[in-house]
Amino acid sequence: MRTRFIGRAGLVAEFGDRLTDLRAGHGAAILLGGEPGIGKSSLVDEYVRIAESDGVPVLYGRAVEDSGAPPYWPWTGLLERAASPELTPDLLTADDTADDSPATRQRARFDVWRRTTAALAKAANSRGLVVVIDDLHWADELSLLLVRHICADIDRMPLLFVGAYRDRDLGAPLVLPRSLAEIVAMPAAYATDLEPLAADDVAAYVRNVAGAPVADAWIRRIHARTGGNALFVRELTRLLVQRGALAGPVADPPLPAELRRLLAYQLGRLTPACRELVDACAVIGDEVDPALLDVLLDGPAAISEAVAAGVLVEADDGVGQPRFSHSLLREVAYAELPHDRRVGWHARLAAHLDRAAAVDSTRLGERASHWVRAVTGAESARSALAACRDAAAHAVTRLAFDDAARWYAAALGLIPTAGGGDQTRARLLLDLAAVDYWSGQVTSALDRCVEAMELAERLADGSVAAAAAVQVQGIGGDPNRTIASLCERARALLSKADGALYARVLAAHSRALGELAEFDAAEELSREALLVAEQSAEPTAMAEAMHARHQLIMGPDGVAERLALGARLRDLAGQPGDALWGHLWRLTAAFEVGTMPAVDSEIASLAALVDRYGWPLARWHMLRAQASRHLLVGHFAEAEELTVRARDSVAGTQDRTATALFLSFASTLARLTGRFGRHGVEEAAESVPPVPVIMAGLAHYFLVAGDLDRAMSFYRVVRPHLPSLRKDVAFLAVLNGVSAVAVATGDLAAAEECYEHLLPYGTVYNNAVQGCAGSVSRPLGMLAAALGKAEAADRHLTDAVAMERRIGAVPFLALAQLEHAKVLASQGTRGGERARELLESCLRVARRLGMAPTVEAATALQERLTAGPPLTRREREIAQLIADGLSNRQIAERFVLSERTVETHVRSVLSKLQLGNRTHVAAWVARGGLR
């Protein structure tokens, strides 16, 4: 769908239907009504493009808002641009007559309409003719009467008339000229009143134009500010994309100049009294509290004129607060207010709301907004600063982090005027860092922390330093260098005597060093942090020390401890976020041990936390966990949808880990389904960091995709890391990818290393919140087979099949059955029939789930086993008789052979087909070996 017609697909399709009718000689009138900027002209332009691309000629005219325009002005321009000798403006000139009576003049006008209509019909080619007039609401009466005349019989002519007109002015209905109203009501008219774009349409448009994920908060802001008006959406989106704003936190950008001119024109048509009312409303806000309006205007105000003009809209129930029809109208009205008047009105409202906010906390933001705009000196700035802090704190309790950040930032900006000192600035910076962190704006949060740390060092304030050091945690990548530096600086101002504060800094330092792979130092710090935290018995310190410990036991050896630690953190009487991490730790551990009831229980608990608190981070984890759960049972479409939603839910944040995890999950889906080339994995592979887990995943991805050269390019990067591979959260994932490539390429040295690494973990699943790869026994079996350890391979793969069946992991069950069949098929007669049974089961699942690579490999192996070595003619005959249930003696009598000779033929059949007994021969014949 073309970008600018998102949300109008039905109308475009309907125009295509009218073109089809036109080719059959049946015309129609398409009439598009709506407010300015709703998209009428753009839709008309699309109609013109479609018609011309279909070989239908188009004549285009436009009416203008000019009382001096001559009669038939839109028609004159249309005919002047016509490329047909029959179509000229002379058609619109009435024949001279000496008779000046009304009847003669009416007849002369009718002659103009008749011959113009006839000329248009004659000018149509075999595919018809499209006549377009835009802005019909400004057309003169004669032009409209000509349109009406044409439309009266248009269904019997090869003409398609398209007209666009304004039927309201930014919300206020307009009275259409009588002739235009009659045209709209004609039987041959397809009239549509264009509605504003819905929120989903705005989302599709913005993301299409941006060419990248856009946070839902931005979509809501754009839709709210524009009211779904297509022109407003287009201009606002264009400005935001130009400034790169959509990748950052949500904010109100300046109004595009084109929109400002249009809206200022609408406001300029109001009477002075109505404009004063609208100005007062603009100071109050988008929704107008009548009581506040009375405060500003010193008495009741009538809003009927503003409603009639479409500037204000009354509440649907007639009782609630009126509001601006578009928030942009309010912005323009506010911008044009004289400064002194604007400040005075805000001061009056702020003083009034000081009393109201004392009993109604929902008005704290409104109160702060007016105080900020009423600042004229130190005293009013102090009042504004206090109001901003109150509003921000209230927003935090409602988890409205964007609002909280806005108010804390406003408070920071007031400090110079209000006379606040370094202590006030430091505390505000930390408050702002907290809401930035909760919103996923990691870089911004750390910048605030660094600034606060500088103030703490200047003040020698250990508590401020500690708060700056521990604010941002649980983040991967380079930000941890900044966090580690902050922790070192905070420790210089603290000691063990500071108890919980010191423990928290130690824990944060340990986590940052662990992310930076400085494990020995991290281990020492984590133990000290837990010891100091337990001595303090302070819940926050305990939780953060447990986080530090958890980070160091995230490998397969720490499953049991992580389950226990998760329960301990979940039940800690600390912060609500402790429950989130406790559930997550237990969830990942449950995935690894294959306890599916626990997995489902923890996912349900995560969902409850999301419903209760609405945390973006919790939602991201929940969606990823749900995606992995669906992947595990073969619901690939649901898994893909959920992982895309997870990626989009954090699209506006600054945590790069989310993108890497999304691409990893997408590559796993592709390996299972064979649907490569989706979600940008190939493109991202060009610029990813050389981290072993990423390199191993990409090597595996390109191996299954059939691009061995690219697979080897990544494999060569990760291969040298095998001897020193750390048993961390990525340990099993790295070995899964490396094992697949090592087996496929015959790298037996790497296969031996992988086998030794994995051997202790055959009972563990390589499944987690971030994705699933199945039982560790499957790669163990593949590696053992490649190393010539046939009995071990059979044992591992038997375990793998049983493990996947136990937890209902059907995609990975199919993979385990395929690998087991490969091993058995190499054992000759002894394993042939077991291999066939496994392949049949594998193919049933793989075909049902759409696992194309598995289907292809299993089918090829099945065909090879079924075909076997060629049987002689006599052996084929004997195999058929065996399938028919004949004994050796009966077969001997049939062919006049000795029974011993028949026994020899039967042994040969069993050997060539690698079958175990006569029953297996009968099954082979029934499957299509001979029949």
Q: pLDDT digits over 156-166, tens only?
A: 999 999 999 98
At 655 the pLDDT is: 54
Pair 404, 392: CB distance under 8 Å: yes
At 272 the pLDDT is: 84
pLDDT < 70 regions, the chain? 1-5, 66-68, 96-103, 169-174, 253-255, 258, 298-302, 315-320, 326-327, 357-359, 399, 573-574, 652-656, 828-831, 867-870, 926-931
Pair 757, 722: CB distance under 8 Å: yes
Closest CA to 40 of 204, 147, 166: 166
Q: What is d(CA 509, CA 373) in angstroms, rounded to the nearest whole number? A: 42
At 2 the pLDDT is: 43
Q: Give the number of other CB atoms < 10 A from CB of residue 547.
A: 22
Residue 77's φ and ψ, nearest 5 degrees, are: -65, -40
Q: What is d(CA 701, CA 708) in angstroms, rounded to the nearest whole number? A: 10
At 3 the pLDDT is: 47
Closest CA to 120 of 143, 154, 71: 154
Count the alpha carbons within 13 Å of 150 in the hemisphere toward its beta carbon.
32
Q: What is d(CA 313, CA 322) in angstroms, rounded to the nearest whole number? A: 6
At 330 the pLDDT is: 81
Tell me which residue has tokens 């900006």: 413
What are the residues whose beta carbons fall under 8 Å from the beta carbon of 651, sequence distance 6 or more? Answer: 212, 213, 214, 215
Tell me which residue has tokens 């790295």: 734
What are the residues whose beta carbons fall under 8 Å from the beta carbon of 775, sequence distance 6 or more? Answer: 762, 764, 765, 766, 799, 800, 803, 804, 809, 812, 816
At 1 the pLDDT is: 35
The continuous run of DSSP H or E covering 164 comes out as strand 159-166
State the DSSP string of 727-768.
-STTHHHHHHHHHHHHHHHT-HHHHHHHHHHHGGGTTSEEEE
What are the residues whose beta carbons fall under 8 Å from the beta carbon of 751, sequence distance 6 or more? Answer: 739, 742, 743, 783, 786, 787
Residue 196 DSSP class: P
At 213 the pLDDT is: 86
If phi > 0 it is left, if psi is from -120 to 50 it is alpha, else beta; for residue 678 that is beta
Q: Give the number of other CB atoms < 10 A from CB of residue 299.
A: 8
At 169 the pLDDT is: 65
The continuous run of DSSP H or E covering 385 comes out as helix 378-397
At 829 the pLDDT is: 52
765-768 vs 771-775, strand pairing mode:
antiparallel
- CB-based burial label for 913 (10 Å; 0-12, 13-18, 19+): buried
Pair 143, 179: CB distance under 8 Å: no
How big is the chain by its Cα radius of gyration, in Å?
Answer: 38
Say what the pTM is: 0.53
**What would the two tokens of residue 321 be?**
């607060």
- CB-based burial label for 690 (10 Å; 0-12, 13-18, 19+): exposed
At 196 the pLDDT is: 87
What are the residues whose beta carbons fall under 8 Å from the beta carbon of 110, sequence distance 6 or more? Answer: 149
Pair 738, 773: CB distance under 8 Å: no
